[in-house]
Structure 1
């Protein structure tokens, strides 16, 4: 995939060793029949290309990249869910809650995600069906 094309795609960056984060990726892939989203670990080369060094160091947040703009934490989750359409469009209601309030809950979960959900020893290896979704 050429760089120009990649910069125009919707990329979800996640902590590649976090079980919760990988579960979120699995859930989105299974609900994305139109292949709207691509996924890349924050520890990977795609993150190096599209994100700032500070963003790549923030392993405690999901980052959503959409046409050159990045969304973090709860804003990223809301953008991703609403992008799935259908019943997930209801997530747009979440925007009425101020971001700093939404992010309080997000940060609590992020801080405890390894102890609550576990951690992998290495980044996920894609299945054959996932290969077209996952970037390095």
Structure 2
């Protein structure tokens, strides 16, 4: 795994590499990531499989997964709306306003997230294989 910058915790965004919306969202995060410290990996990658092996409950999760590792090596995993809100907080600036979503109860946020997730392939398409990142950002992708 690549070493991260001094900014901790290290964050890895796992996403559905076959989902058109998910790929768009990763490009969006990369574009707006002023810190440049977040890494990415498709859920279908070797790295994604390793995370799922360490957290078996993720095998049934069809969602964005945010893995944060602190300086002392403690790994925390966030999914669905909580992962999305933590990413908004990470991006900072105007995106931090999206964290107002925390005022909604988690079950309601996740219900809304899941409702959108069920439609994402119809709305944004599905790829047959994971897209290969361009050379200028490839270093931020783990085992693609």
TM-score, scaled relative to structure 1:
0.89
Instruction: Give the secondary-structure state (helix, strand or coil) at the position aligned to 2:48.
Output: helix
Structure 1: 4+ residue segments shifted above 4 A: none
Structure 1: tracts of 5 or more residues without a match:
none
Considering only aligned residues, what root-mean-square deviation do their CA atoms show, in Å?
Answer: 1.6
Aligned residue in 2 for 1:36: 37
Aligned residue in 2 for 1:9: 10
Instruction: Give the secondary-structure state (helix, strand or coil) at the position aligned to 2:66.
Output: strand
Which segment drifts farther, 75-84 or 125-134?
125-134
Instruction: Give the secondary-structure state (helix, strand or coil) at the position aligned to 1:132.
Output: helix
1:62 partnered with 2:64: yes
2:84 to 77, 90, 96: 77
Structure 2: tracts of 5 or more residues without a match:
70-74
1:132 partnered with 2:133: no
TM-score, scaled relative to structure 2:
0.84
Aligned residue in 2 for 1:109: 116
Which whole-Å CA distance do the structure 2 matches of 1:96 and 1:36 have between them?
28
Which whole-Å CA distance do the structure 2 matches of 1:9 and 1:50 have between them?
14
Which whole-Å CA distance do the structure 2 matches of 1:31 and 1:61 have between them?
21
